Amino acid sequence: MKYVIFLGDGMADYPIPELDGKTPLMVADKPGMDSIARRGQTGLFRTIEPDMMTGSAIANLSVLGYNARELFHGTEGRGVLEAASLGIDLGDNDLALRVNLICIEDGKIRSHSSGHISNEEAHALIRDARSHFEGWNIHLHPGLSYRHVLIHPGGEFRLECFPPHDHVGSPWRDLAIRPMTPDGKETADLLNRFVEESQALLENHPVNQKRRENGRQPANSLWPWAPGKKPRMRTIPERFGISGAAITAVDLVKGLAIYAGMKPISVPGATGLYDTNYEGKADAALKALEEEDFVYIHVEAPDEAGHEQDLSLKIRCIEDLDRRLIQRVLEGIEKKGLETTFAVLPDHPTPIANGNHTREPVPVAIFSPDRQADSVDRFDEESVKRGSLGMLSGSQFIENFFDKKENV
């Protein structure tokens, strides 16, 4: 048996008045997702517990059956996963954080991505910032576009940080990093000074001067968040006796794949945005299944459209994911005659109404050729409530998907 998960980041949403109370998933043309639901079993999956942060790290860990609270002691841990994706060898005492290049205007966060700054521009800014902060016991590592990593050896990880995509429009000074224990004060103070100093450095940087001249948002602040320290995770092969690969343009998911013992596969033209190479991801998945038992295909585009609160774009991203990737994989596997279990789901909602991640349960559909279908014939937030899977939590989704309990 082969296994494929299609993960549409942030696809789930709330009922929208402009859609007569329907969600983007309910109105999108998505015969591939609907086919998996119609031929399979459906339900809801609580990927984020009520007292956990609404981050993609926690949600994607949940999809693979990991307990983020145990791994990261209640923090999100995204910085650690992204560090792994960049090949950074963390020591046990290293603090890792995700760092965004953000745009601040009139004292407020305007954009979590500086208008999706290009890799070339971002790397020039990070290169100069690395030199500037050389004596601060802080190490910056460039990633993709606005997404980067900061390592602070010896730093305290129990900090309250604020994901910039959840606070667009908020005064940035109200979002200073806060220590959760007395031991964290020194680290929090250092990181808050780092943010202020980065603004002085980047405000009139030549890259930002040129961006303003071209009518683009300046990337005029570095913003650290998602603190964590190196986790110890049992791999998917150890837990289920199944080899795996992950296809994504997002460093977070690449890092998760590495820690989970899965092969990260890069695809040319995969951007993490709505212009990503859907067909390339589909073809890479079909090729990976020649050697691997399981492929996890992650597509970021719907989440980014949700953050931008762009309804038509979110619907388009869902339809592109279905038509250009999911249907292509389904057809390719049918031609190869591979017996395959499929699942489709978001990791969390990213509603158009507020542009932030939320923690409501997400719809899920699982099709396996040797399991009886339920009566649901569409994949969306409402239809799956009638499904036979009911409400899943913890490791129930991944154990149901693989149809086996985790090895202990």
- 142-197 pLDDT tens trace: 998 999 999 999 999 889 999 998 899 999 999 999 999 999 999 999 999 999 99
Looking at residue 75, its pLDDT comes to 60
Long-range Cβ contacts of 175-182 (<8 Å, 24+ apart): 175/109, 177/224, 181/156
Looking at residue 251, its pLDDT comes to 86
Average pLDDT rounded to a whole number, residues 253-260: 92
Looking at residue 105, its pLDDT comes to 96
pLDDT score of 9 more than 70: yes
Looking at residue 79, its pLDDT comes to 86
Higher pLDDT, 84 or 104: 104
Looking at residue 279, its pLDDT comes to 98
pLDDT score of 51 more than 90: no
Looking at residue 229, its pLDDT comes to 87
Domains of the chain and CATH, by start: 2-68+234-402 (3.40.720.10), 94-228 (no CATH)
Of the candidate ranges 42-56, 69-83, 272-286, the one whose mean pLDDT is the lowest: 69-83
Average pLDDT rounded to a whole number, residues 222-234: 90
How high is the mean pLDDT of the chain?
94
Share of the chain above pLDDT 70, in %: 99
Looking at residue 52, its pLDDT comes to 82
pLDDT score of 81 more than 90: no
- Residue 122, burial from CB neighbour count under 10 angstroms (0-12, 13-18, 19+): buried
Average pLDDT rounded to a whole number, residues 204-229: 96
